[in-house]
């Protein structure tokens, strides 16, 4: 079987980095988790803080079993992120992690078909490449990045597509946070179904 065959089946993945840290965003903020960052993304947000993840060919095709062996050493919770991890099949990775009794979360734009079995799906939709319809009803958490006032309307439009049980978060785009956070504060006080997510890990200087 070629490397490309293994990538197609999820038996290898373009691994950018993996690390044990504290979840810094959203519903699970403050919890310890092992992060697996997969290379490759075709969404292309201009404010992305991991643009180096976009080109999958820059990140070594890594045996998924090796990734799993590393993950089980650290935490009972694994967060798969990117890049856009759903560009690759997540079926094998999640099946094997579940065999090891780990809880598995994903952070995704939802712009590619959902694969894998997840304990928590954080959907972070982007205007320039919207989520595929099927993922909305499976999302446990909706996290919308706020860069300008117009993004509140986008957040409201996206919230109409998820279930009533989905946790709703807005998060300031880091480079304009000082300007946006006061607007977000007012918005959440007027719309208490939403909560504010802050990139805590950037404030406490951890990965």
Annotated domain spans of the chain: 3-203
Q: Tally Cβ neighbours within 10 Å of residue 191.
A: 14
- Choose between 58 and 168: higher pLDDT: 168
With a pLDDT cut of 70, the percent of the chain lying above it is 100
Q: What pTM was computed for the model?
A: 0.95
Show contacts of 55-58: CB within 8 Å, 24+ apart: 56/14, 56/83, 56/87, 57/14
pLDDT one-digit tens code per residue, 42-87: 888 877 878 888 888 899 999 999 999 999 999 899 999 999 999 9
Which of the four pLDDT bands, split at 50, 70 and 90, describes residue 172? very high
User: Would you state the pLDDT for residue 49?
Assistant: 73
Q: With b meaning 16 or more CB within 10 Å and e meaning fewer, what string describes 160-179? A: ebbeeebbbbbbbbeeebee
Chain-wide mean pLDDT for the chain? 95
Lowest mean per-residue pLDDT among 40-49, 54-63, 88-97, 178-187:
40-49
Mean pLDDT of the 162-183 span = 96
Architecture of domain 3-203: Alpha-Beta Barrel (3.20)
Task: Record the tokens describing residue 40, joined without a space.
Answer: 């490759």
Give the span between the Cα atoms of 81 and 159, in whole angstroms: 22
User: Would you state the pLDDT for residue 52?
Assistant: 84
Lowest mean per-residue pLDDT among 7-16, 41-50, 121-130, 197-206:
41-50
Give the span between the Cα atoms of 121 and 115, in whole angstroms: 11
């Amino acid at each position: 079987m070629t490397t490309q065959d293994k990538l197609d089946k999820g038996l290898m993945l373009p691994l950018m980095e993996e690390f044990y840290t504290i979840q810094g965003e959203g519903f699970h903020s403050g919890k310890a988790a092992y992060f697996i960052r997969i290379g490759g993304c075709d969404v292309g947000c201009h404010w992305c803080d991991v643009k180096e993840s976009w080109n999958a060919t820059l990140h070594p095709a890594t045996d998924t079993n090796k990734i799993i062996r590393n993950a089980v050493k650290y935490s009972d919770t694994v967060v798969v992120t990117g890049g856009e991890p759903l560009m690759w099949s997540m079926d094998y990775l999640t099946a094997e992690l579940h065999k090891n009794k780990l809880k598995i979360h994903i952070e995704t734009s939802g712009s590619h078909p959902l694969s894998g079995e997840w304990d928590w799906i954080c959907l972070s939709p982007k205007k320039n490449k919207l989520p595929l319809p099927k993922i909305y009803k499976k999302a446990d958490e909706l996290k919308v990045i706020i860069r300008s006032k117009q993004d509140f309307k986008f957040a409201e439009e996206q919230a109409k597509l998820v279930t009533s049980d989905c946790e709703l978060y807005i998060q300031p785009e880091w480079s304009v946070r000082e300007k946006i956070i006061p607007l977000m504060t007012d918005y959440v006080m007027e719309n208490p179904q939403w909560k504010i997510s802050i990139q805590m890990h950037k404030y406490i200087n951890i990965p």
